[in-house]
Amino acid sequence: MATESLKIALIYELREAYKALGYSNADCDRFEVGEAAEHIAAALKNLGHEVVLVPDIHSLVKRLAHGEGSTWDLAFNTTEGLHGLAREGQVPALLEAYQIPFTFSDAATMALCLDKGRTKMVLEHFNVPTAPFAVIHFDHTAEKTQVSLDEILSMIRMSRHSETLLSQYPLFVKPLAEGSSKGIGATNKIKSIESLCGVVNSLRDSSPSSLGSADDWAGEADEIKIGRDDQEAGLACQTALRAWTVLRCRDGGRIDIRMDHSSGSPVAHVMEIQINPLAGLLPHWSQLPMIAEHNNVSYNELIEFILKSALQRRRGRVLN
pLDDT in tens, 216-229: 444 444 455 566 67
152 compared with 48, residue with greater pLDDT: 48
Q: pLDDT value at position 170?
A: 84
pLDDT in tens, 293-318: 988 999 999 999 999 999 998 776 44
Buried b (16+ CB within 10 A) or exposed e, 192-201: eeebbbebbb
Pairing of strands 74-77, 7-11: parallel
What band does 320 get if pLDDT is binned at 50, 70 and 90? Answer: very low
Q: pLDDT value at position 148?
A: 85
Q: pLDDT value at position 149?
A: 86
Q: pLDDT value at position 217?
A: 40
Give the pLDDT mean for 133-147: 72
pLDDT in tens, 117-139: 999 999 999 999 888 889 887 76
pLDDT at 288 over 60: yes
pTM > 0.85: no
pLDDT in tens, 170-195: 888 888 877 656 667 677 888 887 78
215 compared with 85, residue with greater pLDDT: 85
Give the pLDDT mean for 105-115: 95
Q: Where are the beta strands (DSSP E) in 102-219?
A: 133-136, 171-175, 189-190, 209-213
pLDDT at 4 over 90: no
pLDDT in tens, 247-272: 999 999 988 887 777 666 666 666 65
38 compared with 258, residue with greater pLDDT: 38
Compute the distance between CA of residue 49 and CA of residue 3 in angstroms, rounded to an integer. Answer: 10
Residues 6+ apart with CB under 8 A from 38: none
Compute the distance between CA of residue 250 and CA of residue 280 in angstroms, rounded to an integer. Answer: 15
Compute the distance between CA of residue 218 and CA of residue 255 in angstroms, rounded to an integer. Answer: 20
Compute the distance between CA of residue 70 and CA of residue 57 in angstroms, rounded to an integer. Answer: 17
Percent of residues, the chain, with pLDDT higher than 90: 40
Task: Sketch out the chain's domains with CATH numbers.
Answer: 7-104+281-314 (3.40.50), 106-131+219-277 (3.30.470.20), 132-213 (3.30.1490.20)
Q: pLDDT value at position 202?
A: 78
Say what angle helices 57-65 and 90-97 make with each other, to 10 degrees. 10
Q: Does residue 76 contact residue 8 with C-beta atoms inside 8 Å? A: yes
Compute the distance between CA of residue 161 and CA of residue 166 in angstroms, rounded to an integer. Answer: 9
Q: pLDDT value at position 32?
A: 64
